[in-house]
């Protein structure tokens, strides 16, 4: 079965378990893709990446066709229309977009970012892990 909705990697395991008829563990965060496809309600997929594995902490979300990225250290918000701009070259000005989907996406991304940043503990890498990440090109 082919699905056109945006899904997360977290959705794979719950979907496979449902197909096998097995009970889903309570700690799984994803959704059964087949159930969300039946509901026809669009979903928001939240994204996040953190330092030191990435250059900066970033939070994002996809509410197709919109992709929003928030970088807290610079307070920068990027907004792209994936259907018209799959290469993400044209950043929309969020303040000029009067679209309920975009507003909901921005709200969810900001809520998630604030929650995570308030709970996040700063981590440091040992020299060996730092060298490995440098050699792999993840950090400079």
Mean pLDDT of the chain: 85
Q: Is 75 left (phi over 0), alpha (psi -120 to 50) or beta?
A: left
Q: Is 88 left (phi over 0), alpha (psi -120 to 50) or beta?
A: left
State which CATH number among 3.40.50, 2.30.30, 3.30.1120, 1.10.3470 fits the domain covering 44-135.
3.30.1120
At 108, the pLDDT band (50, 70, 90 cuts) reads very high
Mean pLDDT of 66-78: 94
CB 45 within 8 A of CB 85: no
Q: Is the pLDDT of residue 130 over 60?
A: yes
pLDDT (tens digit per residue) in 86-104 = 999 999 988 888 899 999 9
pTM reported for the whole predicted model = 0.68
Q: Is the pLDDT of residue 60 over 80?
A: yes
Domain range summary for the chain, segments of one domain joined by +: 1-41, 44-135
């Amino acid at each position: 079965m082919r699905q056109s909705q945006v899904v997360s990697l977290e959705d794979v395991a719950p979907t496979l378990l449902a197909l096998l008829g097995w009970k889903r563990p309570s700690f799984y965060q994803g959704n059964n893709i087949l159930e969300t496809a039946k509901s026809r309600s669009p979903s928001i997929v939240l994204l996040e990446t953190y330092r030191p594995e990435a250059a900066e902490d970033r939070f994002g979300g996809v509410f197709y066709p919109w992709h929003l990225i928030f970088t807290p250290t610079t307070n920068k918000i990027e907004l792209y229309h994936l259907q018209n701009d799959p290469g993400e070259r044209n950043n929309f000005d969020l303040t000029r977009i009067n679209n309920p989907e975009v507003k909901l996406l921005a709200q969810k991304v900001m809520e998630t970012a604030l929650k995570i940043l308030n709970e996040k503990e700063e981590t440091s890498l040992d020299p060996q892990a730092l060298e490995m990440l440098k050699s792999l090109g993840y950090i400079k």
